[in-house]
Amino acid sequence: MAGGRLVAEGRLSAGCFALGVSVTLVPGLSGIQSGFVTRALLGTYLAVINVLLLLLYRGLHYQVAVRACFLGFVCGCGLLLSFGGSSWQHFGWYLCSLSIFHYSEYLVTAVINPKSLSLDSFLLNHSVEYKLAAMSSWVEFTIEKLLFPGLKQITWLSFFGLLMVLVGELLRKAAMLTAGSNFNHIVQNEKAETHRLVTTGIYSWSRHPSYVGWFYWSIGTQIILCNPICVVGYTLASWRFFRERIEEEEMTLIQFFGEDYEHYKKRIPTRLPFIKGAKLEP
């Protein structure tokens, strides 16, 4: 059953993501710029592929298809901006980073833990705070680009942010693949029979490598955009979120695995700055 679901939804999402990316093949968009013609071409392309998806799929499959296709479309627009000689090149890097992160969360979940796979695995509706943070970064980038255009053309700084994004993404996906079916986007309150304590691979370096990856990925996206306000804001907000999340999760893990987790916790750090996790009772 789970394997069949992986084939049906994993392959469906991959095909639809590729369909979205194919916006790069639309004639007239190779040097994407703002303007009526560009907006008309992009709007027409979105309308056509949405009609196609409506004709091909129903129910859950349509919901998966439209999300994957939209993320592919965003990635395709990012590629056009990145390689089209536009002054929005770094924003294109950001769009690619954002769309690939959200799509890969779904795809990797389909591979490692199809039983937990749902539309929420795209993490598109993560939280209101997450959406507000994303919108605030777009607003800051746009305003600063209008007022201080030179600030958005610091290529070496944006490239450093891109490296942070890549490293963070690799860390997170390595953690998901290593944990396998033990990984879940939702903190589990009850121990299943299949749950086991993973301490090998990337988990022998960090107790929470997926959070370490996400932490540096999120900060890296703002460095790509050269957003000084959001770099500070994302750092503080992400640090607070992961501090609280790790404390909550480790209390559960201590209940699940007892002394085994306590010994593991003493040996392996979180690798997040100034976050030590749940306090052990003396």
Residues 169 and 151 grouped into a single domain: yes
The pLDDT of residue 31 is 55
Of 98, 125, 152, which marks where a domain is finished? 125
- Answer yes or no: do 227 and 263 share one domain: yes
Q: Residue 282 domain-assigned? A: no
Show pLDDT as tens, one digit a residue, over the chain (282 residues). Answer: 444 555 688 899 999 999 999 999 987 776 555 567 777 888 899 999 999 999 999 999 999 999 999 999 999 999 999 988 788 999 999 999 999 999 999 999 999 988 889 999 999 987 899 999 999 999 999 999 999 999 999 999 999 999 999 999 999 999 999 999 889 888 777 677 778 999 999 999 999 999 999 999 999 999 999 999 999 999 999 999 999 999 999 999 999 999 999 999 999 999 999 999 998 766
- Domain coverage including residue 267: 127-277
Cα dihedral value 163, 216, 184, 188, nearest 10:
170
CA distance 146 to 106: 35
CA distance 92 to 95: 5
**Do residues 118 and 175 both lie within one domain?**
no
DSSP result, 65-124: HHHHHHHHHHHHHHHHHHHTT-TTHHHHHHHHHHHHHHHHHHHHHHHH-GGG--GGGG-T
Give the residue carrying structure tokens 């691979």.
201
Q: What is the pLDDT of residue 64?
A: 96
Residue 281 has a pLDDT of: 67
Q: What's the number of domains the chain is made of? A: 2
**Whether residue 266 is found in the same domain as residue 133:** yes
Chosen domain end from 94, 125, 156: 125
Mind giving me the DSSP string for 218-260?
A: HHHHHHHTT-HHHHHHHHHHHHHHHHHHHHHHHHHHHHHHTHH
- What's the confidence (pLDDT) of residue 30? 62
Q: Say yes or no: 146 and 272 in one domain.
A: yes
- Same domain? 131 vs 217: yes
**Kind plus residue range of the DSSP H or E element containing 170:** helix 155-179
Q: Are 231 and 173 in contact (CB under 8 A)?
A: no
- Residues 179 and 243 both lie in one domain: yes
Instruction: Kindly report the CATH number assigned to the domain that includes residue 239.
Output: 1.20.120.1630
Give the separation between CA 174 and CA 180, rounded to whole angstroms. 10
Specify the pTM: 0.93
Between CA 98 and CA 81 the distance in angstroms is 14
- Domain assignment present for residue 49? The answer is yes
What's the confidence (pLDDT) of residue 6? 57
Q: Which of 109, 125, 141 is the last residue of a domain?
A: 125
- One domain for residues 150 and 273: yes
